[in-house]
Amino acid sequence: MNQRAWYVRPLQYVALVGYLFFLGFPLLWLVSASFKSSRELYSVTVTLLPVEWTFTNFADALARQNLIGSAGNSFMVAITTMVLTVLISMPAAYALARFRGKMRAVGTGWILLSQVFPTILLILPLFLILRTLQLNDTLFGLILVYVTFTMPFSLWMLQGYVSAIPRDLEEAGSMDGATRLTVLRVIVFPLLLPGIIATAMFTFVAAWNEFFLALVLIQSPELSTLPLTLRNFIGVAGVVDLGPLAAGSVLATIPSLVVFAILQKKLTGGLLAGAVKG
Partner 1 sequence: MTAVATRPVTRRGVSSRAQRREAIALVVPAMAPIIVFSVIPLMAGVYLGFTDATLRRNDVADFIGLDNFIRLMGDRFFWESFRIGLVWAVACSVLTLLCAMGLALLLNTDLRLKSLTRVLALIPWAMPPVVVAIMWRMIYSPTAGPLNAALEWVGVAPVNWLGDFSTALPAVIVVAVWSGMPQTTVLLLAGMQQVPAEQLEAAAVDGASAARRFWHVTLPALRPVVLASTALDFIWSFNSFGLVYVMTEGGPGGRTMLPMLFTYLEAFKNRNIGYASAMGDVLVIAVLLVLSIYLIQQFRKGKAEG
CB of 207 to partner 1, least distance (A): 11
265 near partner 1, rule: CB under 8 A: no
**Distance in angstroms (rounded) separating the CA atoms of residues 226 and 66:** 9
Interface stretch with partner 1, choices 56-64, 65-73, 191-199, 262-270 (CB under 8 A): 262-270
252 near partner 1, rule: CB under 8 A: yes
140 near partner 1, rule: CB under 8 A: no
CB of 275 to partner 1, least distance (A): 7
**Distance in angstroms (rounded) separating the CA atoms of residues 53 and 20:** 25
CB of 155 to partner 1, least distance (A): 7
CB of 140 to partner 1, least distance (A): 13
**Distance in angstroms (rounded) separating the CA atoms of residues 20 and 171:** 50
Among the listed residues 6, 7, 10, 19, the single contact to partner 1 using CB under 8 A = 19
| Dihedral-angle region of residue 210 (phi above 0 means left; psi in -120 to 50 means alpha; beta otherwise) | beta
# chain residues binding partner 1, by CB under 8 A: 92
Contact (Cβ atoms closer than 8 angstroms) between residue 202 and residue 153: yes
Alpha helices in the chain (DSSP H): 8-34, 38-41, 56-63, 67-98, 102-116, 119-132, 139-164, 167-175, 180-182, 189-209, 212-217, 226-233, 242-263, 266-277
Among the listed residues 76, 79, 122, 165, the single contact to partner 1 using CB under 8 A = 122
Count the alpha carbons within 13 Å of 93 in the hemisphere toward its beta carbon: 31
**In terms of Cα–Cα distance, which of 225, 242, 250, 243 is closest to 67?**
225
Contact (Cβ atoms closer than 8 angstroms) between residue 174 and residue 180: yes
219 near partner 1, rule: CB under 8 A: no
Angle (deg, nearest 10), helices 189-209 and 266-277: 110
48 near partner 1, rule: CB under 8 A: yes
CA dihedral 32, 33, 37, 42 (to 10 degrees): 130
CB of 12 to partner 1, least distance (A): 6
Interface stretch with partner 1, choices 62-70, 134-142, 143-151, 188-196 (CB under 8 A): 143-151
Q: Which of residues 78-117 bind partner 1 (CB under 8 A)?
A: 88-89, 91-96, 98-100, 103, 107, 110, 114-117
Q: Which of residues 49-68 bind partner 1 (CB under 8 A)?
A: none
CB of 79 to partner 1, least distance (A): 16
Q: Which is nearer to partner 1, 35 or 233 (CB)?
A: 233
CB of 225 to partner 1, least distance (A): 10
13 near partner 1, rule: CB under 8 A: yes
Q: Which of residues 191-210 bind partner 1 (CB under 8 A)?
A: 205, 208-209
Q: CA 42 from chain center: how many Å?
A: 33
Interface stretch with partner 1, choices 56-64, 135-143, 149-157, 185-193 (CB under 8 A): 149-157
Q: Which of residues 163-192 bind partner 1 (CB under 8 A)?
A: 167, 180
Contact (Cβ atoms closer than 8 angstroms) between residue 98 and residue 180: no
231 near partner 1, rule: CB under 8 A: yes
